[in-house]
């Protein structure tokens, strides 16, 4: 499904969740696993602000056989290049997009989630998850606080 000119963005892209915080060094399941049964694409947007001294950020999309994360494994080629404070990567924006045919569908994998790893120091992070190319529009807007046309 493509977005027609008359469709609102929120009618064809479902917000799956977001994180917006200063995160200490740890591994986070930043985007909970969501089923792609009714969608053709998943998009994860990573926004990085201030990075503490020596901080690094890694982010990748994972696939699972259900929304609980059963059998979770990385999706080949769906990880950012590591961001580093030393490399001046604060205030960077990254996006990862995956299509359903890139999942191990034959193995029963139809759910997508995100793993964020912050190491060495705190980092200001924003992560936004979206499902797109819905098989059935309009998609739910319940995860949005407010939608303004």
* Residue 40: φ, ψ to 5°: -105, -15
CA dist 111 and 99 (Å) reads 11
Helical spans, DSSP H, in the chain:
9-12
Answer yes or no: is pLDDT of 1 > 90: no
- pLDDT for the residue numbered 9: 86
> Is the pLDDT assigned to residue 12 strictly greater than 90?
no
Q: What is the mean pLDDT of the chain?
A: 93
Tens-place pLDDT, residues 20-39: 999 999 999 878 999 999 99
List of domains in the chain: 12-134 (2.60.120.1110)
Q: How far is CA 49 from CA 76, 107, 127, in A?
A: 27, 37, 11
Task: Report how far Cα 149 is from the mean position of its chain's Cα atoms.
Answer: 25
Strand order across the 14-23 sheet? 14-23, 123-134, 39-51, 92-99
Q: Of the candidates 3, 8, 11, which has an alpha carbon nearest to the alpha carbon of residue 139?
A: 11
What is the pLDDT at residue 29?
86
In the predicted structure, residue 3 carries a pLDDT above the cut 70: no
Q: What is the rounded average pLDDT of the residues 117-140?
A: 93
Place of tokens 């990385």: 74
pLDDT, residue 116, reads 96
Query: The pTM is what?
Result: 0.91
Does residue 118 contact residue 59 with C-beta atoms inside 8 Å? Answer: no
Q: Per-residue pLDDT tens for 96-114?
A: 999 999 999 999 999 999 9
pLDDT of residue 124: 97
pLDDT in tens, 46-70: 999 999 999 999 999 999 999 999 9
Using pLDDT thresholds of 50, 70 and 90, give the confidence band for residue 2.
low
């Amino acid at each position: 499904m493509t977005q027609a000119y008359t469709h609102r963005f929120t009618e064809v892209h479902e917000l799956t969740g977001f994180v917006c915080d200063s995160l200490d060094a740890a591994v986070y399941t930043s985007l909970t696993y969501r089923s792609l049964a009714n969608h053709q694409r998943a998009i994860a947007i990573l926004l990085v602000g201030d990075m503490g001294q020596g901080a690094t950020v890694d982010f990748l999309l994972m696939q699972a056989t259900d929304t609980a994360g059963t059998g979770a494994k990385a999706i080949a080629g769906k990880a950012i290049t590591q961001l580093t404070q030393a490399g001046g990567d604060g205030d960077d924006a990254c996006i990862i997009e995956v299509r359903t045919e890139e999942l191990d569908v034959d193995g029963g994998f139809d759910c997508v989630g995100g793993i964020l790893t912050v190491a060495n120091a705190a980092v200001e992070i924003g992560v936004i998850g979206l499902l797109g190319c819905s098989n059935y529009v309009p998609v739910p807007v319940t995860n949005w606080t407010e939608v303004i046309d």
